[in-house]
Amino acid sequence: MSKDFVPGLAKGMAATAKQLFATPHTAEYPDVAPELPARSRGVIALVESNCTSCMLCARECPDWCIHIDSHKEEVPPASEGGRARQRNVLDRFAIDYSLCMYCGICVEVCPFDALFWSPQFEYAETDIRDLLHEKERLGQWVADVPAPPELDPGAAEAPEVGAANKPTRGGRR
Ligand code: SF4
Ligand code: SF4
């Protein structure tokens, strides 16, 4: 028997005894909801009114799991003699969560703040086809998106906030 056997055994027993009386780390989910970090990647929420159907997210998605359909609509000129414009109207926006790898690229690249992470993760399905979330369902996740964190003291105001608060010519906001 090695001379290190007894001290080693005692050390092991001491570690076991310590764990016997330690508070367990086991999470009692689903009886107790987990405390998730604010920036958890649970599900992607779509703010449909912000989406311009630019397709950037679908093109950058490494899994090709974003499906977008849209059509063009003519917008009449704002004033007489002006030129009519065209705008995209979103017909379909869907994310297939059976393929999504939660990389967050789509949220990062969206130039119009239409995609946000929600920490909600309880959307497991028994049928894999139900993991295809259409825009109506993606829109429902918006309610779970946490508010952005407060700015650091002394930080400059975001240009968007300044622009939104600027009085219009008629003196109204
Ligand atoms: S998180 Fe990544 S994989 Fe999932 S939809 Fe967005 S870009 Fe695609
Ligand atoms: S990048 Fe943003 S605005 Fe463009 S299609 Fe995707 S969600 Fe819509």
Query: End-to-end alpha-carbon separation of the chain, Å?
Result: 86
pLDDT at 173: 47
- pLDDT band at 169, cuts 50/70/90? low
How far apart (Å, rounded) are the C-alpha atoms in residues 63 and 73?
30
How far apart (Å, rounded) are the C-alpha atoms in residues 45 and 140?
7
What φ, ψ does residue 101 adopt, rounded to 5°?
Answer: -110, 15
pLDDT at 146: 92
Average pLDDT score over residue span 28-37:
89
pLDDT at 103: 97
pLDDT at 53: 96
Burial label for 114, CB within 10 Å (0-12, 13-18, 19+), is buried
Return the higher-pLDDT residue of 2 and 121. Answer: 121
**Which residue owns the Cα nearest ligand 2 atom 4?**
54
Residues in binding site: 51, 54, 57, 61, 100, 103, 106, 110
Average pLDDT score over residue span 46-51:
97
Average pLDDT score over residue span 35-50:
93
pLDDT at 144: 93
What is this structure's pTM?
Answer: 0.78
Starting from the CA of residue 53, give the closest ligand: 2
- pLDDT band at 1, cuts 50/70/90? low
Lowest mean pLDDT among 10-19, 75-84, 154-163: 154-163
**Which residue owns the Cα nearest ligand 2 atom 3?**
51
95: pLDDT strictly greater than 60: yes
Q: What is the pLDDT of residues 52-69, one digit of tens each?
A: 999 999 999 999 999 999
